[in-house]
Chain A
Amino acid sequence: MTRHVVARAADLPPGTRKRVSVENRDIVVLNIKGELFALSDKCPHKGASLCNGLLTGLVRSSVPGEYQYERQGEILRCPWHQWEFDVRTGRSYCDPRRLRLMQFPVAVETGASVVEGPYKAETFNVAVEDDYIVLDVPS
């Protein structure tokens, strides 16, 4: 596992997302109400980039005509065929055992700790006073 600095925390405020390429993987990093999620950006169905997909809630029902709508903004839908993926588990709704997105540990680290390393941050000039988003990605 290698730790990668992928963005300045200030550049990914709540409600935004960013697609990054690390270790030959495309990864979408989402900030949902201040909570960070990092998932494979490639839909396991036909390979679409999920970064531009809708974020919706989870609708469930145990009786026809009744709708339980919960966890608003935590379901990422593929822009091509609208399959749903749970940002907390990476699992699809339609086939949760077989169709799932790889998840990556993601955290905000201080500039001071990032400067100490060992981190890969080829594209950044890290400043001690800023915070950074750091991904753990298998190399």
Chain B
Amino acid sequence: MSADWKGAIDCDVHPHVPNIDALKAHMNDYWRETVEVRGITAFESVAYPLNAPITMRPDWRGDKDKGRKRADTDPSRTAAALMDRHGFAHSILNCLYAVQLIRDENMAAAFCRAVNDWMRADWLDRDPRYRASIVLPLQNPELAVEEIERCAADKRFVQVLALAMGEVPLGKSQFWPVWKAAEKHGLAIGIHAGSSYHHATTGSGWPSYYLEDYAAQSLAFHTQLGSFIAEGVFVKFPRLKLVLIESGVTWIGPYLWRLSKFWRGVRLEVPWIDRSPIEFVRDHVRLTIQPFDAPASGETVGRLMDQLQSDEMLLFASDFPHWQFDNDDMMPVGINPTLRKKILIDNPLATYSRLGGSHAA
């Protein structure tokens, strides 16, 4: 265990649903039989194709010859790679099982319940250091609120989870009952890279290649951030925290420049935004640091800090098991020791109010 990481809070870890049976165990009779009769085998999106390098670091992949399962299906192996190895205090689980792809609102809600209950039984109950995000059926905001109310009593849920590309921008008022419930329960809102694939994955239409799809994710974060700001979500719900997960981070400086610049001329259409958008972002928006789109020179970190004028916005994350770094190089180059401690511990604690009572650094 390394002293460098002790007590850190890893804000993005992906547990993988091993097979449909794992979820069927958490479904009622109707949905269990529906899955069987219809022959549903899985809801996996193409966001992380199994053989794409990004999807899993080689040493975390399964190996049939050695009888080894992929690490992200095994809470013990995941804990060994992260919390045991480095001394992290917590790992926050963001399950990317593709419930967002389902068109049937009620089926989406059933799968969300199953995923959340599976995470509870197979991960949270197995290791007291795990925390998790509630997966939501945002296809129907009322059902999403119900799922928050069903899960919120379990304080190990610290966040609600949405994907960067859904059906409409997430700041719009149809989602406000969901964000209201999140605020009421002290849950952060996490937006993770990914798509429901209900629309093209770029504003210009469907790209041809995975390369384009993955690189375009940061543009979806532009849209969601702009939506949360302009619609006035943070004016309406001033205690909310929005966490942009696996976004790439460094895009935010130029985007905030544009957003704040144009606000000066057209702020009359959004008069509830009574100060520069960047100030709302400093107060309410956080970003996880893997991946961190920058060369290894360290200059980009300094420039980003100058642009943000805040050392409270970055949250530590491994993005396990996605292959974002080799060895233990989880921290971008150019972060000084003071900022490093904030990123590892202080900022996550300030973002996830539900971690407060349980943190043992």
What interface size band does chain B fall in? 10 to 19
A22 → B minimal CB distance (Å): 29
- Is the Cβ of B267 less than 8 Å from the Cβ of A94? yes
User: A61 contacts the other chain (Cβ, under 8 Å)?
Assistant: yes
Assembled-state Cα–Cα distance A93/B276 (Å):
10
Contact of A64 among B236, B266, B276 (CB under 8 A): B236
How would you classify the secondary structure of chain B's contact residues: helix, strand, loop or mixed? helix
Interface residues of A in 51-84 (CB under 8 A from B): 56, 59-68, 81-84
Assembled-state Cα–Cα distance A65/B230 (Å):
11
Shortest Cβ distance from A60 into B: residue: B271
- Is the Cβ of A94 less than 8 Å from the Cβ of B274? no
- Is the Cβ of A61 less than 8 Å from the Cβ of B264? no
- Is the Cβ of A94 less than 8 Å from the Cβ of B276? yes
Interface residues of B in 231-279 (CB under 8 A from A): 231-233, 235-236, 263-268, 271-272, 274, 276
Contact flag A82-B266 (CB < 8 Å), given A63-B235, A63-B236, A64-B231? yes
- Among A64, A82, A83, residue most surrounded by chain B Cβ atoms (within 10 Å): A64
Interface residues of B in 263-297 (CB under 8 A from A): 263-268, 271-272, 274, 276
Contact of A81 among B232, B233, B264, B276 (CB under 8 A): B264
Shortest Cβ distance from B236 into A: residue: A64
- Is the Cβ of A62 less than 8 Å from the Cβ of B265? no
Interface residues of B in 208-239 (CB under 8 A from A): 231-233, 235-236
User: A8-49 vs B: 1/0 string, CB under 8 Å?
Assistant: 000000000000000000000000000000000000000000
Contacts of A66 in B (CB 8 A): 272
Contact flag A59-B274 (CB < 8 Å), given A64-B231, A64-B235? no
Shortest Cβ distance from A57 into B: residue: B268
- Is the Cβ of A64 less than 8 Å from the Cβ of B267? no
Assembled-state Cα–Cα distance A81/B173 (Å):
29
- Is the Cβ of A62 less than 8 Å from the Cβ of B267? no
Residues of chain B whose beta carbon lies under 8 Å from any beta carbon of chain A: 173, 231-233, 235-236, 263-268, 271-272, 274, 276
Given A81-B264, A83-B264, 6 more A-B residue pairs with CB atoms under 8 Å apart are: A63-B232, A63-B235, A68-B271, A82-B265, A94-B264, A94-B276
